[in-house]
Amino acid sequence: MRYILKKLLTLIVALLLISIVVFLAFSVLPADASIAKLGQNATPERIAALRAEMGLDQPVLVQYFRWISGAVRGDFGTSYQYTGTRVVDLVGGRIGTSAVLSLISLVMVVVISIPVGIFAAKRRSAPGRAAMTTVIHITMGVPSFFLGLLITYLFSLVLRWFTIGKYSSPAEDLAASISYLVFPAIAISLPKIAMTVKFLVSSIRSELHKDYVRTAYAKGCSRNRVFYGHVLKNSLVPVITFMGIIIAEIVAGSIVVEKVFSVPGIGMLLVTAITNRDYPVVEAVVLLIAVVVIVINFLVDVIYQIIDPRVRL
Amino acid sequence: MLLQVNDLKVEYHTKTKISYAVKGVSFRMEKGDILGIVGESGSGKSTMGLALMMQLPQTARFTGSVLFKDRDLVPMTFEELRKIKGREISTVFQEPMTSLNPLVRVGKQVEEILKIHDRSLTREVRKDKVLRMFRNVELQNPEEVYGKYPHELSGGMQQRVMIAMALMNHPDLLIADEPTTALDADVQTQILDLLKSINERYGTSIILISHDLRVVRQLCRKTLVMYQGMIVEQGDVEQIFEHPQHEYTKGLISALTKGEKESEDYETDAMLQVKDLTLYYNIKPEKLGQHRTRKYICRDMNFTVHTGEIVGLVGPSGSGKSSISRAILGLHRDYTGQILLKEPNPQMIFQDSASSLNPGRKIGWILEEPLKNLKDREQIAHVRKLSRVAELLGTDPAKEMPPDRLTARERKAIVRDMLTRVELPGEFISRYPDELSGGQKQRVNIALALIAGSGFVIADEPVSALDVTIQGQILELLLHLQKELNLSMLFISHDKAVVDRMCDKVVQLIPAGD
Amino acid sequence: MKKVRNYSLIIGCVITGVMLLLALTALFWTPYSTTGMSLSLKFAAPSWAHPFGCDNYGRDILSRVMQGIGTTFLVAASTVIFGMIVGSVIGFFAGYIGGWFDEIVMRINDVLNAFPSILLALVFVSFLGSGLMNIILALGILFIPSFARIARSEMLRLKGLQFVQSAKLQKAGTCRIIFAHIMPNAYINILASAAVGFNNAVIAEAGLSFLGLGVQPPNASLGRMIDEAGSFLMQAPWYAVFPGVTIIILVLGVALISDGISRIE
């Protein structure tokens, strides 16, 4: 219980910290949001009027509280670029796509890397291990956007299994949406699968040398019983924590890969908004991703402490 | 005949070399016997143990025969051995904490050994048997222990669980590999008593592997002494103790029984005075809102160490031996009472010679370090005088040397001189600690404690991690240096024989409770 | 003494060495001008004259890749060195001093660490603006937490060892204990993670440049080349393939070095 409370406290502090950083970064630091909105040629009078209207002439603390109470209710103001469109609508329209994309990628990572990791960990011969290390390192090093291009070339241009840009959102047609998103998900998850396999293999190897494995053999356990009954479960525990990192990486990977496959998700929105200095949108997206990542990490910690009795102090 | 080992040889094959761990060992054992196998680290006794359990690593090759109930174990396949392991031959290991799976409740782990060998038993029967065995190995509250995870049990309880597991299928042979080494002295005795009663009650034959002759003497009637992969002596334990035949065994036993030091009364002035010392430690709050609690480590300690005296500090673990030394050295500040120490530069010789030397630095650098940090002029003059550095370098003492630091030349000379004093060759200055043996490391530690001219040294279990014969040499060196330099020493140990040999008087510590 | 060849380290060093050599050569000489355009060579396929082919402006891809490697090395090396030095010092002190200082540093660290690095880089870039220096600064700051975490855990591992207590008894000062006694034992692990950090920097820089938010022209960048090539996949697949494969080989080399370093002990 104490552990969860401590993690909860960390979660709250983290959220607070992030919100302050995001607020400072986008609402205070950029030379002036009003200039960004009106453009460089605005007259001083108009700027002053707008500043008053936007509340920019008030103390930073007041501004922060107004901003955060709005943010909690989902009010991030309106976009500079798409004048009059509420930020929350812009983000809300794309969140489903990104969520589905991340989810497919995560499922791929989990479903593929665990059996592959077990297979790889059981390789004993020197050439087998060397081959495995090389494959893992190369896969880890492929930038996901480059992988995306290769996939596009092969599956879209050569094999014509899907057409770039012909995407339907999950709300319209879930099946069609998934069958399109599978391809960017491969690009996102492949390097992550390699990372997870590497982690799992070294976790299994280090467990195999522990004393309790010797005990299990001394009891008369068969090789399979030792591996699946004792070693595997214990090696998977640290993988849970690792998944927290992987999820964050998947979210990050989707920002870049969405552009390759022209998937209209959060990542695309963010990149366009940054290019156009559309601060309210950037702010909202960054905050959203940050909160999701932090909350997921918290959940991972909680799951970890449920599974590993040693943490339960 | 339960077990007959004929000409057993074990070699380890690595990529670059072959090393012979056991070089042709033969012995036999009757049903109901308790046999001890004694030897120091590297003697091959652990490899022997692993070979008898058929648990040798893949790099090992072995020849000879191990006849267990007239069946040879050596040519058996993994599957055939699997049916014997845990059912007819069981094992108890040194580290109960790591030998149990940390993520599985201990009850389940003990139950598994039944499940593997007899699939017909129902859950309820299995659990019932486990609980009964828990009672037999004198575990309190078996029901409660059943559902615990290993880390929730004390070391002694964990080892009882391991023993219960080993006995579940009533094996003919129990191999115990250093079963008490990781435990406290009083728990050690309890576990040995338990093993004895098991032998009497079930007639289980036991092989006890240990580095400690006294442990073997407590439990076994017969023993083998191993040295460099061979059996150098075997027979009745008492016989061997009284009339050791082999040189190695003689050394081993004389190191254990070397006489007591005659106590002298010291009329010299006090080097260290401890008056009404009460030590505390803080416990972090368990729950939010709870206050920090302060607990006693020890209460109202009073003792004096005179100049030139060696005082022993003994007591069970948890009685505050290390905390007192930390307080004297100024590293633990939460105490009341007085600590008066005349020596401004007290030093310590640590137990773990491996971790007390910086692995990233050469011996020469390590030994020079205290000399570089000397700032006090008086102390520098003292070190110069003590190490006769002028003599060593052939310089004129009247000639001005910088009064506020030692020159590089002086430091090098002092380091060389110190190495000679602890009987190490001078070329060790360019070695890394990893390249030294345990005994050599401890010599460097002694040099490190003495090099800056300290007159007061705390020795915290300085030999307990070493083999018995090495222990003797190190203790001899300490006594010699103590006389030569007129050192005052606080000597911490759990080993009565060692304390008797070293100390002029003994301070006994009792755990303080709450 | 066992003498097993550290093949990972050897192969890794060879690959990285060749890459570095290419980048250094590009400072003085490239087979063709990196900016010289030629309509006749537009989308020329790989040939003896142009081993990597030509791009949509008829520029020699090999020459541009060589220059791009240089940019990548510059960005990755300077960010990692910056992050490593600042992060290690912070982590060492946090670990050694402990208490509230440690608590604050580590909480901030947790937060930054939970973040996908490219997202933070995007945040920085969005108000610092893109460009070489800003990318180095943004990525450098990003790497501070991970190095601080490693340095701290190394410190926690080592400061409990008795040789540190022994150093205290020998009256060594705090800075001397941290830098003279503890650091020589920590640098191997920090170096191994520096190699991992280097690769993260390479991929992050390529990603940012791919998004058009990284290194700006006239500086060549492998990521930007792949971005441009994306529009001409049908006409000239080699335009995307060669810069991409170069990144992979570069990352593989450094990963092998990292692997090799961690096997030294």
- pLDDT tens digit sequence for A277-309: 788 888 888 888 888 888 888 888 888 888 887
| Cβ atoms of residues C82 and C201 within 8 Å | no
Assigned token pair, B498: 């060692």
pLDDT tops 50 at residue B220: yes
Residue B284 in this model has a pLDDT that exceeds 70: no
pLDDT of A185 reads 93
Q: What are phi and psi of C77, to 5 degrees?
A: -65, -45
Min Cα distance C34 → chain A (Å) is 22
Q: Is the pLDDT assigned to residue A56 strictly greater than 70?
A: no
Can you read off the two tokens belonging to residue C126? Answer: 């969005």
Instruction: Write down which chains contact chain B via at least 3 CB pairs under 8 A.
Output: A, C
What confidence tens digit (pLDDT) does each residue in C125-184 have?
A: 777 777 788 888 888 888 888 888 888 888 888 887 888 888 888 888 888 888 888 888
C-beta atoms of C171 and B370 within 8 A: yes
The pLDDT assigned to C2 comes to 42
Mean pLDDT of the C194-222 span: 83
Q: Which residues contact A246 (CB under 8 A, 6 or more apart)?
A: A106, A109, A192, A195, A196
pLDDT at residue A313 greater than cutoff 50: no
Q: What is the pLDDT of residues B410-469, one digit of tens each?
A: 888 889 888 888 888 888 888 888 888 888 888 999 998 888 888 899 988 888 778 777
User: From the list B331, B359, B369, which residue is nearest C167 (CB)?
Assistant: B369
Residues above pLDDT 70, as percent of chain B: 92
Q: CA-CA distance, B168 to B108, in Å (whole number)?
A: 13
Stretch C81-90: mean pLDDT, rounded?
A: 91
Report pLDDT for A108: 94
The b-or-e profile of B370-409 (16+ CB within 10 A means b, else e) is bbbebeeeeebebbbebbebbeeeeeeeeeebeeeebeee
Whether C152 contacts C108, CB under 8 Å: no
The whole-angstrom distance between A249's CA and the closest CA on chain C is: 6
Beta carbons within 10 angstroms of residue A190's beta carbon = 21
Whether C1 shows a pLDDT value over 50: the answer reads no
In terms of Cα–Cα distance, which of A169, A176, A173 is closest to A93? A169
CB contact under 8 A, A293 and C122: no
Q: What's the burial of C31, exposed, middle or buried (CB within 10 Å: 0-12/13-18/19+)?
A: middle
Q: What pLDDT is stored for residue C105 in this prediction?
A: 82
Residue B315's pLDDT is what? 77
Give the least confident one: A190-204, C42-56, C210-224: C42-56
Q: Please name the member of B104, B112, B287 whose beta carbon is closest to the beta carbon of A219.
A: B112
In a mutagenesis test of the A interface, which of C202, C210, C254 is the best target, namely the one with the most A β-carbons within 10 Å? C210
CA distance B123 to A51: 75
Contact between B102 and A310 using a beta-carbon 8 Å cutoff? yes
Higher pLDDT, B465 or B147: B147
DSSP structural state of residue C216: P
The total number of residues written for chain A in this structure: 313
**Residue C233 to residue A133, Cβ atoms within 8 A:** no
Strand, coil or helix: what is B313? strand
Q: Is A7 on the interface with B (CB under 8 A)?
A: no
Q: Could you tell me which of A89, A6, A93 has the C-alpha nearest to residue A280?
A: A89
CA-wise closest residue to B188 among B151, B216, B149, B222: B216
Q: pTM (2 decimals)?
A: 0.81
What's the mean per-residue pLDDT of chain C? 82
What mean pLDDT is predicted for residues A231-249? 88
Q: Determine the distance in angstroms separating the CA of A258 from the nearest CA of chain B, rounded to an integer.
A: 41
Query: pLDDT confidence of C4, banded at 50, 70, 90?
Result: low
Distance from CA of A6 to the nearest CA of B (A): 10
- Closest chain A CA to residue B162: A215
**pLDDT band for position A103 (cuts 50, 70, 90):** very high
Higher pLDDT, A313 or B289: B289
Please give the ipTM for the structure prediction: 0.81
Q: CA-CA distances (angstroms) from residue A226 to A214, B58, C204?
A: 9, 16, 41
Instruction: Give strand pairing partners of B506.
Output: B312
8 Å CB contact of B91 and A218: yes
pLDDT of A35: 58
Check pLDDT > 70 for residue A54.
no
Which of B322, B324, B307 shows the shortest CA–CA distance to B460? B322
Distance (Å, whole) CA A285 – CA A274: 11
Burial profile B110-138: b = 16 or more Cβ within 10 angstroms, e = fewer: bbbbbebbeeeeeeeebbebbbebbebbe
Instruction: Work out the burial of residue C116: count CB atoms within 10 Å of its CB; fewer than 13 is exposed, 13-18 middle, 19 or more buried.
Output: buried
B270-283 and B173-177 strand pairing: unpaired
- Please, what is the Cα angle at B376 between B374 and B381, to 5 degrees? 90
Residue A44: pLDDT over 90: no
Nearest residue, CB atoms, A141 vs list C108, C111, C252:
C252
User: What would the mean pLDDT of B319-345 be, rounded to a whole number?
Assistant: 83
Residue in B95, B113, B151 nearest the CB of A219: B113
| Chain C interface, best mutation among A149, A242, A291, by max C CB count within 10 A | A149
pLDDT at residue C122 tops 90 = no
Q: What pLDDT, on the 0 to 100 scale, is given for residue A124?
A: 73
| Strand pairing report for B222-227 and B34-38 | parallel
Q: What angle do CA A170, C229, C222 make, to 5 degrees?
A: 105
Per the CB < 8 A criterion, the answer to whether A265 and A93 are in contact is: no
Taking CB atoms and an 8 Å cutoff, what residues of chain A touch C108? 17
pLDDT band at A51, cuts 50/70/90?
Answer: low
Helix (H) or strand (E) holding B282: strand B270-283
Give yes or no for A35 touching C (CB within 8 A).
no
CA distance B360 to C264: 14
**pLDDT at residue A115, as a whole number:** 93
| Among the listed residues A310, A270, A274, the one whose alpha carbon sits nearest the alpha carbon of residue A288 | A270
* Residue A31: pLDDT over 70: no
Sign of CA dihedral B126, B132, B134, B139: positive
